[in-house]
Amino acid sequence: MPESFNLKSFLAELPNLPGVYRHLDEEGTVLYVGKAKDLKKRVNSYFQKNLASPRIAHMVARIARIEVTITPSEAEALLLENNLIKRLRPRYNILFRDDKSYPYLQLSAHDAPRIAYYRGNTNVGGQFFGPYPNAWAVRETIQILQRVFQLRTCEDGVYAHRSRPCLLHQIQRCSAPCVGSIALEDYQADVRRAVRFLSGQANEVLQEIEQRMQAASEALDFEQAAMLRDQMRALSTVLQQQTMEHAGTDDLDVIAVISEEGKVCVNLAMVRGGRHLGDRAFFPTQVQDDTPEDVLAAFISQHYIERPLPPVLVVSHKLEDTAILDMLKEQTGKEARLLIRPQGVRKAWLEQALKNGELALARKLNESMTKAARTLDLATVLGLEVDDEALEALTIECFDISHTAGEATQASCVVYRHHDMQPTLYRRYNIAGITPGDDYAAMRQVLFRRYERVAEGQATLPDVVLVDGGKGQISMAKQVFNELGLDTNVLVGVAKGEGRKVGLETLIFADGRPELRLGVASPALMLVAEARDEAHRFAITGMRARRAKSRNVSRLEDIEGVGAKRRQRLLARFGGFTGVVNASIDDLASVEGISAALAERIYYALR
């Protein structure tokens, strides 16, 4: 402990209040973030003789300072803890990747509602069903609704301008409300049946369709009866194809924790409206001697703090800290019941989740061994002396430049660490103040901006810096590193081979080592090629977005009567240029400062 920090007096003065504590080392790096109902009791527990695990003992030995934040409640402590874990990524916390939001199926709020794949904030118009574990599950459900209820999927702009039915109507996947092939009231009735199907009432919907078919037949309306027969047949087929047994209208998540060879998988299966929608595997990092119960608690607290909490959680292990559910209830307003030993279909779902988790973990272990072998081969090729721990932490940064004839020049920096690409660490750099098309000047600028902080001691130099390019680019990179006083041994150029074929690349070293051509069979070259291609992809997508934004704003600027304020209002109202293009004349005219005549001018100028 540093002399300025008196642990004994600090522990004595801690309040018996809820809050968040942070353990820091001598360099001020946060080692661990935790929450507590009673800060005094919880923080003091770390300094007892008998600690819970060797990992905790190892962490406590490195603590140089402790910081605490008092919160109004345990729920606020849970929220703050998760925010700090995501931002600081402390070494001794179990970390789950902060993945993208889950997809939903949306039924729009139109008179003739549209079904669509949706990802984002659900506080907008329409009805939302889900969340679904992946995009495939949403699209499969949309196909079912098209086949059974023939609901439209077309964009509003297409729907509003149809003069005859599209191909989907001809193949009986849409009832074509756009041209009046179905009465609006009948279409809305199909929408209501689809909602009941999504809510787990499929059998009731099937019975209703059967009754309508019989009534139509008795009324000698054979065309209607045939249509209802086909609809009933399609729905029956869907129900027979359900791979998991149906269980009423359950909304629940199944959470299975599996561990093997020091790796852990948390497999999450989602059930909505009694339908098993599929599952998703999570692989937490920084799990050492943590128990499955520890991992389960970390997953529930991190996953559900900002995602929908279903009424029931079926879990494979006991949740030691049941207060987490109370805190989630207070924070989200949702209450969940925990099932540890489920029966019937829920037991079958848990067994299936465990089996799928075991398969996912086996695949992950296999991939990890392959990726670790690639990293080791590259370290050997480059002459890096690394042990197992250093190999795991070996960091590669790769740079690329992208532009279109000098327009919208952008540089990318992608990062490889822990035997995999790390998208959360990627960076893009807008390049300005150079001669358009001068790739050398662009590379000089991005390297200087990235590693100036390293020279100032504010960041760490990676083990390898890959530059996409030949002798000219590596010479420029060496010049920058010499100016900054950095080690040029880490610089490696990747020169493309004939026809840009993978396997023909040449590695060029800034420190004068002979050039290397490893060949297509080299695991090291496959790793270099992956990093190079990812840097190129990341650079070109950024450049295209920047170029499109510049050109789109320019198209609005070219319209007479659309100044900066009106342009800003249009983009804000419709969420960007694409929204403005898709807006109708009436929609455009509803924006402040846009007259009917100007709205019409804008509409036709963007066509």
Domain boundaries, the chain: 7-88, 104-241, 252-363, 390-545, 558-605
- Conformational region of residue 20, where left means phi above 0, alpha means psi within -120 to 50, and beta covers everything else: beta
Residue 111 and residue 184 in contact, taking contact as beta carbons nearer than 8 Å: yes
pLDDT (tens digit, 9 = 90+) per residue, 190-247? 888 888 777 766 667 777 767 777 776 767 767 667 766 766 666 665 554 444 444 4
Of the options 1.10.10.10, 3.30.710.10, 3.20.20.300, 1.10.150.20, the CATH number for the domain spanning 558-605: 1.10.150.20
- Spacing of C-alpha 488 from chain mean position: 36
Q: Are the C-beta atoms of residues 105 and 78 closer than 8 Å to each other?
A: no
Q: Scan for tokens 């599950």, then name that residue.
A: 137
**So what's the pLDDT on residue 246?**
47
Phi then psi for residue 263, to 5 deg, are -105, 150
- Predicted TM-score (pTM) of the model is 0.61
- Tell me if domain 252-363 and domain 558-605 are identical in fold: no
* 505-558 per-position pLDDT tens digit: 888 998 888 888 888 778 888 888 888 888 888 888 766 665 555 555 556 766
How do beta strands 104-107 and 115-118 pair? Answer: antiparallel
What is the pLDDT at residue 256?
A: 94
Rounded to 10°, the helix 135-149/184-198 angle is 140
Tell me the Cα Rg of the chain: 30
Exposed/middle/buried for residue 357 (C-beta within 10 Å: 0-12, 13-18, 19+): buried
Phi-psi region of 402 (alpha: psi -120 to 50; beta: other; left: phi over 0): beta
Fold of 252-363: Nucleotidyltransferase; domain 5 (3.30.420)
Asked if 283 and 140 count as a contact pair (C-beta separation under 8 A), the reply is: no
- Residue 385 token pair: 């002396």
What element of type H or E holds 233?
Answer: helix 222-241
Please, which residues have CB within 8 angstroms of residue 523's CB and are 6 or more apart in sequence? 373, 374, 377, 378
Question: What number of other Cβ atoms are within 10 A of residue 45's Cβ?
Answer: 12
Tell me how far apart the terminal alpha carbons of the chain are, to the nearest angstrom: 69
Q: Burial of 409 by CB count in 10 Å (0-12 exposed, 13-18 middle, 19+ buried)?
A: buried
Res 20: pLDDT: 92
- What pLDDT is recorded for position 431? 80
Angle (CA) 325 250 196, round 5°: 130
State the pairing for strand pair 491-495/464-468.
parallel
Amino acid 416: pLDDT: 92
What is the three-class DSSP state of 116? strand
Which residue, 478, 464, 366, 379, is CA-closest to 415?
464
- 323 vs 439: CA distance, rounded Å: 57
Ranges in the chain, pLDDT < 70: 1-4, 51-52, 98-101, 200-203, 209, 216, 218, 221, 223-224, 227-228, 230-249, 403-408, 498-503, 542-555, 557-558, 607
Give the pLDDT score at 397. 93
3-state secondary structure 147-189: HHHCCCCCCHHHHHCCCCCCHHHHCCCCCCHHHCCCCHHHHHH
Residue 493, beta-bridge partner list: 467, 508
Residue with tokens 């609006």: 184
The domain 390-545 having CATH identifier 3.40.50.300: the answer here is: no
3-class state of residue 226 by DSSP = helix
Cβ–Cβ < 8 Å for 139, 116: no
How many other CB atoms are there within 10 angstroms of residue 528's CB atom?
26
Q: Are the C-beta atoms of 487 and 463 separated by less than 8 Å?
A: no
Cα–Cα distance for residue pair 325/321, rounded to 1 Å: 8
Question: Nearest Cα to 316, choosing from 289, 292, 291?
Answer: 292
- Backbone angles phi and psi of 21, in degrees to 5: -120, 150
* Three-state SS letters, 239-264: HHHCCCCCCCCCCEEEEEEEEECCEE
pLDDT of residue 243: 42
d(CA 572, CA 347): 49
CATH of 7-88, one of 3.40.50.2300, 3.40.1130.10, 3.40.1440.10, 3.40.190.10: 3.40.1440.10
Q: Cβ(18)–Cβ(63) under 8 Å?
A: no
CA 362 – CA 347 distance, rounded (Å): 23
Residue 479 near residue 472 (C-beta atoms within 8 A): no
Residues paired with 263 in a beta bridge: 260
